Structure 1
Amino acid sequence: MKRIAMALLVAASCNAWADEASYKVVDELLSLTPTARSLEGMRREFDTQMQGMISTTSQGKQAEALTAEQRAVAARFSAQVGKLFDEHLAWDKVKPVARKVYLENFSEAELSELVVFYKTPLGQAMLAKMPTVTESLTRSIRDQLQLLLPKLDRAGQQFQREFGQASASDKTGATDK
């Protein structure tokens, strides 16, 4: 019984050590990637969008044309939403999720190799250019979807017509055999 307990204790400590080593590798990887900076950028963009939304809500009035009470309400709302954003999407909240995602999708060896790669000039170039590449791909896909949507709409209308005709045929007693 003591041997089993000792074996379990050793296995558990090895697992804890492996987890700690994996966390260290993931943390190093995350420090090399722009994930935290991206969240900061999202926050700035969010603040800008909030200001735009407040401007729209104020029916196009310039900030100077708002009453003191309206400005106070807008400031409270902006602060409240910013606080919610920080409570849920601040790096200290997202980092454990990012860790988990990386650990679920990469082995420790793969993570270590990614760290080595991202430290190279090519890895740094990739990290620097990926946001632009991703944005360009997203824009291109969105453009393709805009071309596709009318075709999907026509196909859907054709389906509805044919389906309706098939349903009408069934009601008149015609059957497929």
Structure 2
Amino acid sequence: MKKIALVLAAAAAFAGLPTIAHAADAQTTAAAKKLLEVMDARKAMLGSFAEMEKAMPAMMRAQAASMIQSDTSLSAEQKRDAMAKVDKVLPGVAKAMNQMFRDPVLVDEMLAEMVPIYANNFTAAEIRELTAFYTTPLGRKMMTMMPKLSAESMALSQKIVLPRIGNLMQQALQEAQKQ
């Protein structure tokens, strides 16, 4: 059961990684806030969260299945039992994640943390150029497409990165069992 919880936690971590914010000047910070407003970042984020809600249960199940199936210390019956536990626990985890993604405070916190990210990585002039771009038809299309692009990127991560993480975790668990 600990392995299942570890896998579910690792998969959930792919939903977003923490960032470190630094102080930026007031002009750049104001420009970053304006950029996020023009980008309709709140709507894009909500769309991305909706896509993650759909994708995460399958990602978590696939990761758990990969780890369980590759565990040579488990018999076929133990593997079936482990997957049954995953299938039993997963709906509750998915429900909790969905509630988390729908919490309006989450979006507010994310947006507040995004301002320094932009302000620390772009100058005020660069942010104004980005703001101008996102007011164009192509910029608006980019923002409309962002949730779909995020979902496709997440699926790509599931396909390419998560199996590798599963293998690393499996190796670590096997090493821990030897000790």
TM-score bracket, normalised by the shorter chain, equals 0.3 to 0.5
Q: TM-score, normalised by structure 1?
A: 0.44
Larger Cα Rg: Structure 1 or Structure 2?
Answer: 1
Q: TM-score, normalised by structure 2?
A: 0.44
